[in-house]
Amino acid sequence: MTNVKKWMAAAGVGLALMTATVMALPAAASETAVVQVQRGGSGHSSEYLAQALGVSADELEAAKQTAYQAAIDQALAAGLITQAQADAIAERAEAAGRLSSRYLRGFTSGDSAVDVDALLAKALGVTADELDAARTEARSLSLAAAVAAGEITQEQADMKLARRALKAYLEEQGFSSQEQSLYETAVQQAVQAGVITQEQADAILSDADAGSLNGRRGSDGGRHGSRGSGSTPQNDATSGATDS
């Protein structure tokens, strides 16, 4: 165990710790206020995104349904999900009355991932950059409404936007992929040190919920599962697309 710890320190485990710290920067508020910030930033995300895009809520929802179905079709064609999984998604969507991004978990991350953002942008008739800009505006609108309603302070709103901007910057700089590579190498070092077996290491590395040194895979908060799993995908957010 000592050898593993020494290696991790030498390899730069501070990178992972820095990423985790950045994502958890304090908002200088009580826990209750933080919850209110999160609700203000996501509870009406579709409403504010539609406003930022200059479309109606119904038009945004229709575009989402088109994009989600296209994502499922692409995943099936690429072998990222089975026909049984696609059928299960269709059954759940029919019961719920619509497709949800939570059903796309399992094939929207990784090298072979389906790009749901690109599909949504296409369905909306905008570019990917325009969609990103609209999401940024939507977050600002949502937080401004929360400030106006007295749910959070302007300082808290500014901090939330700052964390989001810094997170995006770290992703652009490749810190997430470096963290993942470090984690995988550390797991193999643990095998060599006799801390765990290779079978256990393989199981750990295939676990999407524990796929990094700070307990999350990449920078998306562990919101994506591993591809090709036997279970039906279940997640509430995909590639930045949000459901109301």
Confidence of residue 43 (pLDDT cuts 50, 70, 90): very low
Domain-wise residue ranges, the chain:
2-242
More confident residue, 171 or 79: 79
Give per-residue pLDDT as tens, 142-194: 999 999 999 999 999 999 999 888 888 888 888 877 787 888 889 899 999 99
Confidence of residue 44 (pLDDT cuts 50, 70, 90): low
Q: What is the number of other CB atoms lying within 10 angstroms of the CB of residue 185?
A: 13
The confidence score (pLDDT) of residue 243 equals 53
Judge whether residue 124 has pLDDT over 80: yes
More confident residue, 36 or 79: 79
Torsions phi, psi of 238, nearest 5?
-140, 125
Average pLDDT over residues 91-104: 93
Which strand (E) or helix (H) includes residue 168? helix 154-172
The CA radius of gyration of the chain, in Å to the nearest whole number, is 20
More confident residue, 75 or 6: 75
The confidence score (pLDDT) of residue 236 equals 34
The confidence score (pLDDT) of residue 145 equals 95
Average pLDDT over residues 93-106: 91
User: ∠175-11-176 over CA atoms, to 5°?
Assistant: 15
The confidence score (pLDDT) of residue 134 equals 96
